Structures are given as C-alpha cells and as structure tokens.
Amino acid sequence: TFLAPPGPAGPPPVEVTILPALVAYLLLVPAVIFDWRSRGRPHPVYIWGGGALVAVKFLNWPMSVTSAWHSFAGGILALAQ
C-alpha cells in the first residue's frame, strides 16, 4: 500500500460528461437513418427516446447545482454510511 497510487478523486463534474454522452448518442443515428430509408420515417421511439436522452443530459447540469439536489444526494450518502 505504500507504493500504491491514490485512488481516483471521484466522479467527474457534470459538465464534463455532456459532450461524451452526446457522442455516444450518435450511435443511434445509423438506426434512425435505417428506419428512415426502409420505412420512410423514423420510429416514434427514436424521436421521443432520443429527445428524452438529450433533455435529461442537458438538465443534469442545472439540476446538479441546486440546493435541493445537494440535500437529496446528502441524504442518499447518509443512508450509505
């Protein structure tokens, strides 16, 4: 343990996770294109689900700085200890 490096500092800040998530959501684009070309339109789940994914990811940042979220997260952490 003397030569072991310290553990990670914790999860990254929320704003750092937005761009990688959007890049990961690009994996859905080929499926939407396939549906569009084969069915003439994308399946409604791609529209509703994709919109929900993007909305949740962009709402993470403003929600993460509210006192209500910090109270909730502190309560969850208290349960874990």
Dihedral angle computed from the Cα positions of residues 5, 6, 11 and 12, in that order, rounded to the nearest 10 degrees: -70
Residues 10-39: b if buried by 16+ CB within 10 A, e if exposed: eeeeeeeeeeeeeeeeeeeeeeeeeeeeee
Residue 2 banded pLDDT, cuts 50, 70, 90: low
Average pLDDT, the chain: 91
**Percent of the chain at pLDDT exceeding 90:** 78
Read off the pLDDT of residues 39-58 as tens digits, 9 standing for 90 and up. Answer: 999 999 999 999 999 999 99
Whether pLDDT at 78 is above 70: yes
pTM: 0.70
Map out the domains of the chain as residue ranges: 15-80
